[in-house]
Each structure stands twice: as C-alpha cells, then as structure tokens.
Chains A and B, each alone.
Chain A
Amino acid sequence: MSPVIEIDGLTKSYRRFGRDSRRALDGFDMLVDSNQVHGFLGPNGSGKTTTLRTLLGLVRANTGTMRLLGAPVPGTLAGVMPRIGAIVESPQFFPNFSGRRTLDLLAIAGNLPRARVDDVLKTVGLSDRAADRVKTYSLGMRQRLAVASALLKSPDLLILDEPANGLDPGGIREMRDLMRSLVAHGTTVVLSSHILGEIQLICDSVTIIAEGRRVAHGPVADVLAASDKGEYRVRVPDLTRAAAVLAAAGANVRTGSDHLVVADVADPGWVTATLARESLFLTELTSLTPDLEGVFLELTGTMPTQGRHRQAPEMAS
C-alpha cells in the first residue's frame, strides 16, 4: 500500500497581536496508507483542523514537509486537488441557493459533468430536497450536502472533518456504509471525529494528536493492544481477603467498590486457581480490553477527573 498522506515534522504557530504566538502544531507526523478508512483523533484544540487546513493549502506551515497522493504540497497542490474531496469543519453554503445549485456551481468550477450532481445527491440521500434552499435544511442535511460536495470529484482521497456532525443514528450508519463502499471502490477516507465508538467500528487505522504532536498511530488493533495492560475485573463475595490473596501471590491488585482489578496477568486461569486454593470462588472474571475511548482519554490526558472541570486549551482547533 502506498501512502496517500505523508506529513513530517509539521509546525505551525499563529501570531497573536500583543501576545506570544500560539503553537498549534509542534513537529507533527502522519502517515496514511491508501485504500482504508483512517481516523484522525484529538481533543478540541489539539491541532486536527490546523493539520487538515495546512495539508489542503488553506494555512501555511512554518516548517515541515507534506505529500498528498505522492506529490509534495503545497507546491503541487493545484495538480492533486482534483483528486481530493474535502470538507473542513462545518462547511457553510449560501443559504438562499438550493442544494442542487450549490453543487452545480462547484461542478462547473471543477469542470465536472453535471450528471455527477445527480449521482452524489442520490448517494447522500438528498435527491428529494435538492431543489429546496439550503437555509431550510437541517444540520444533518447540510452535512450531507457537504459530503456530497466532497464526493463530486470522485476523489481518490476523501478528507472529512466531523462528517457525522448533526446526523441521526440512521444517518451515521448510512455514512459508515458509504465510507466502506468508497474504500471498496479504491478511495482512501480520512475521518476526523469525536465519536470514538464510530471510529473504532469503521476505521482501519488511526492517528491520535494531542497538543500538536502525534501521540499514537497505526492499525486500530495495534493501538488498542499497545494500551492493553492485561487487566481483569474480578468479583468475589469477600473482596478484602481475595485482594490480599492475589497480592500475596504477586498480582497487581486495585480494589473497587464492588470488584477488584487485577493487572499484569498473562493467564486468567491463574486468578481462578489462586483464589480457589483459598476457597474463594469467583462470581465474575472479565478481561478489561481497552476501547478506543479509553485509549484516547489516556493518551490525550483528557480523562475527566471528578470535581475538576477541564479547561479548553489555548490552541487552534
């Protein structure tokens, strides 16, 4: 698989009038291979949108190199943009134009056949409302229109910033199916989203960014495995005695309100056997496999702490 996005050492600072400059990207790296759905994750203000804007030539980087579909950008951006469909943040359209006119104008600007407009309207499920003004659309319908505009070019690379924003559960599922279908037809999809369950379901690989730096990347399974500490949730009638037995046997044990968490255990059978020898019989033994949300919160340092409200960082989103 050849990479479609290669970013190396990207830095970007925003100058602020009368204040110190604000560093949005701090040596960020990213590699996305072709023919897959790639999740691009990060908390608000971590630099996701700045990365996408820089990659698409909307923002000028301070340092670093980037390649899109193998071509160095921003130098050759005009040559590769016809092969890239993108929506960045929530795209807005002229409220008094109809959905069809909005897409028609883009198709004309891109020298595309007008028949493509009907195709993409059908793909995103907007055919019946195409003649209505955009101002009458719901947030989800505007999002569909944005996706339609990105699909117009039949892109090799589709970059979508929060495409599920405003969509109902049915719409989210449709979007997921659409992406799978696009990948099956050879398109690479880069997806920025906060809906981590959705990302875990749909993405083949992820990049996680925090404070302008890459903190994790690779296939989803690898990223999850890297955070797998071999933990098990254990429930027994006598928690205190069970904790003491397991600790004495060399396990790393944390006590919860109604359960124990036993870490660094290679074989769950060892927990069963150790407790059974002391006549302690399990009522539950569950492997605590990390999910993407837990990994994300841990890696980005955004795990909620009781009694403390996280403040939005002073960074560009």
Chain B
Amino acid sequence: MSVVDAEWRRLFARRFTRIMLAIVVALFAAVAIGVAVNYHRITAADRVVAQQQMVADQQQMTTQLAECQREQSDPSATGPYNPLPPGLTCEQMFTPPQLDWFLPRQWILTEQAKAMLTVFGGLLALFGFAVGASYVGAEWSSGGMTNLLLWRPRRVPLLAAKLGTLLFGVAISGLGLLVLWAGMLSAIATTRGRFGHLTAGVVESMALYGVRGIALGLATAALGFAIATVGRSTVAALGVAIGYVIVVEAAGHLVLANMLHVAKPERFFLSSYASAWLAKKISFSTSGACTVTPGGGQECSFTDWSISMSHAALVVGLLLAIVLAWAFTAFRRRDVT
C-alpha cells in the first residue's frame, strides 16, 4: 500500500496533471460560456416580436395560397404554382405558421444533454490519455523509474500499482468533472434555457452517459500508460496517438471508403467504437451499388448497420488487454539502461 500511497501523491503533485485538469475545466467553462452567450430564456419582448413576424408571415402566406388556388382552378393559368410538384396540394404547400417558428432557439437540457455529455466524454478521453502517458513517460525520461526500481524491484506489482493508482485518480477526477459539468449544464438550463421534461428515467440515462464517459477516460488513460511504458516516453505515446488519428482515422478512412471502396469502413476505426460506447449505439448508412434510372438519374441502395455498446466494449477491451499485456511483458523483461 505504501507504493500506492506514494504514487497517489505523486500523481496529483505533478504539474502536468494539475495543468491538464485546469485545461479541461477551462474547456468546460468555454463551452458553457459559448452556450450561455448564444442562448437566452424567452422573454415577453421575444414573444411580441415573434407574434409580429408570424402575423406578417401569415398575411404573405394567405396571399400566396389564394394565388396557388387560383392557378389550380384555372388549367390555362400560368404562374409559379402551376404545375405543383406531384402529390402536393396548395394547402400542403402553405401550412399556417406557428409562433414557435419565430421565437429564438431555446437551450433545453433534455435535448442537449447527449451532445453535452459527448463533449464531456471526449474531453475526459483526451485528459485520460495525456495524463496516463505522461504519468509513466515522465518517470522514464527523468530517470525516476530507475530510482523507483531501486526501492521496489518487483516490477509487475510496481507497474500494476502505478496503473491502479492512475485509474483510480482518473476515475475520481472524472467523477468530480462530471459533477462540475452537470452543475454547469444545470446553471445554463436555469439561467439561459430550461430543463425540459426531466423525469427520473432521463436523469438516470444522463448519469449513465456520464459514467460511460468516465469509463472511456479510464480506457484511454490505460492505453496512454501502456504505450508510454512500451515506448519509455510521453512523446512516444503522444506520437502514436497523433499518428493514429492522422494516418488511420483521417487518411485511412479516405483510402478505404473512396479508393478501395471497402464496405462499412467505419468498423475499422476506434472513434466509431468510442462513439458507440458513449451513445450506447451508433448507426451508419453505407451506400451500395447505384443504378441509372430511366429518367437519367441515379438510384443507390443503402445498407443500414450499427455498432452496439457491447460490441464496442468488446473491441476496445480486447485492444486494451493486448496493449497492456505487451506493456507489462516489456516492463518485466527489459533492461533498464
């Protein structure tokens, strides 16, 4: 336990960890401020303006509807509404305007929660990876690992203690950040929007979304930790991550989808599984063969497919297990020179 105690203190005494926490909090604040600036609660003045716009629109629509009906009743008439698109009537084309259309957009927590919690999960994933990689990478580059091994020569328990401490630290940080994020969203809903229909089920669903975000942060922290252990530096882990994003996620997607025409290319990218994990399910629509229609146009078939949360957990878990096994094996066997 003494190693865990020392590692716990080291994790949060490190400037990098503190800076990363500060950056995540600053980004949360930036998003919250952005939302707060762009939305506000609907006031009586907003309603007056909207009412005036709706009346004006209604008058214009009434004129256009009458013109449309006139053109339809006189087959010889020419105008913008003759002929109408197939299957449409004048009444369908000109539905009466609603007041909501003219009111400013409102920020409703229940509607925005998914996007906001995806932001939380994404930021926590980046935080986890950077802190995980730096936590062990800095030890390698500073010589601290050699020092530590002179105190704790059993390598596997030492690395396991470090990993466990890191994961616990990221989990605690994630929980704190989730509470902070929820507080910010509540404040926005209270002051600049509204909560929407907030039932116990919706709250539970949002909480679980946040917990999955924390789990994603733990996975990326373990991944960063493992890569930095194998590469013996923070830079190695960050290099692998940046390389993966550029080469695989960006260039690889282009090559697979547009040049090699591989079906369902999204299944090869970790981002798909991370998204599926956060959202419980992610759906894709892949275009299949296209045929030329008699009118000269193209008609393409589409295949709808999805990645489920359990599938995502399996893929990410398997990858993590392989990389961690590699890291532990390398750490146990390698010469520390």
Contacts and interface: CB of A to CB of B under 8 A. Distances in A.
B151 A94 contact: no
A96 interface: yes
A248 to B, nearest CB: 59
Chain A residues touching B, range: 20 to 34
B149 A57 contact: yes
Given A81-B153, A94-B138, A109 B3 contact: yes
Residue among B3, B138, B144, B335 having the largest count of chain A Cβ atoms under 10 Å: B335
Interface stretch (A84-92, A162-170, A230-238): A84-92
Interface string A70-111: 000010011001001010101111111100010011101111
A122 interface: no
A139 to B, nearest CB: 14
A174 B271 CA distance: 59
B336 interface: yes
Contacts of B6: 105-106, 108-109
A149 interface: yes
A303 interface: no
Interface in B100-134: none
With most chain A CB atoms within 10 A of its CB, the pick from B9, B14, B144 is B144
A53 B2 CA distance: 24
A57 B152 CA distance: 10
B150 interface: yes
B162 to A, nearest CB: 11
A106 B7 CA distance: 10
Interface in B51-65: none
A60 interface: yes
Contact of B144 (A53, A94, A104): A94
A56 interface: yes
B147 interface: yes
Given A91-B143, A110-B2, A110-B151, A53 B337 contact: yes
Interface in A95-142: 95-97, 101, 104-106, 108-111
Contacts of B144: 92-94
A184 interface: no
Contacts of B143: 90-93
B148 A78 contact: no
A50 to B, nearest CB: 8
Contacts of B151: 81, 106, 109-110
16 contacts: A56-B149, A58-B335, A59-B335, A59-B337, A60-B335, A84-B150, A91-B143, A92-B142, A94-B138, A94-B144, A96-B15, A101-B13, A105-B6, A109-B2, A109-B152, A111-B2
Given A53-B337, A94-B14, 15 more contacts: A56-B153, A58-B146, A74-B153, A78-B154, A81-B153, A91-B147, A93-B147, A96-B15, A104-B9, A105-B10, A106-B147, A106-B151, A109-B5, A109-B7, A109-B152
Interface of B: 2-3, 5-7, 9-10, 13-15, 138, 142-144, 146-154, 333, 335-337
